[in-house]
Amino acid sequence: MSTQRTVGIGAGAKELATEDMVLNIGPQHPSTHGVLRLRLTLDGERITAAEPIVGYMHRGAEKLFEVRDFRQIIVLANRHDWLSAFSSELGVVLAVERMLGMEVPARATWTRTLLAELNRVLNHLMFLGSYPLEVGAITPIFYAFRERETLQRVMEEVAGGRMHYMFNRVGGLKEELPAGWTDRVRQAVKDVRSRMSEISDLIMGNEIFRARTRGVGVLTREQVLQYGVSGPLARAAGVDFDLRRDEPYLAYGELDVRVVTRAEGDCLARFECLLDQVHASLDLADACLDRMADLPPGPINQRLPKVLKVPEGHTYAWTENPLGINGYYLVSRGEKTPWRLKLRSASYNNVQVLTELLPGTLVADMIAILGSMFFVVGDIDK
> What is the structure's pLDDT at 16?
46
Average pLDDT value for residue range 198-208: 91
Q: What is the pLDDT of residue 232?
A: 95
The mean of the pLDDT values for the chain is 91
Closest alpha carbon to 143 in 194, 184, 185 = 194
**Which of 16-20, 220-224, 258-262, 311-315 shows the lowest per-residue confidence on average (mean pLDDT)?**
16-20
pLDDT for position 4: 58
Q: HEC profile for 154-174?
A: HHHHHHCCCCCCCCEECCEEC
Give the pLDDT score at 6. 54
pLDDT digits (tens, 9 = 90+) for 129-169: 999 988 888 999 999 999 999 999 999 999 998 889 999 99
Q: What is the mean pLDDT of residues 255-273?
A: 95
Question: What pLDDT, on the 0 to 100 scale, is given for residue 36?
Answer: 87
Q: Residues 347-363: what's their mean pLDDT?
A: 93
Read off the pLDDT of each residue in 300-317 and give the average, rounded to a whole number. 94
Mean pLDDT of 300-316: 94
Q: What is the pLDDT of residue 3?
A: 58
Query: What integer is the mean pLDDT of 189-211?
Result: 93
11: pLDDT strictly greater than 50? no
- The H or E element containing residue 190 is helix 181-204
Q: Ramachandran region of residue 98, left (φ > 0), alpha (ψ -120 to 50) or beta?
A: alpha
- Distance between start and end Cα atoms, the chain: 41
The amino acid sitting at 182 is: T
pTM of the model: 0.91
At 323 the pLDDT is 95
Alpha helix (H) residue ranges in 66-175? 73-77, 85-100, 106-134, 140-159
pLDDT digits (tens, 9 = 90+) for 177-186: 999 999 999 9
Domains of the chain: 21-380 (1.10.645.10)
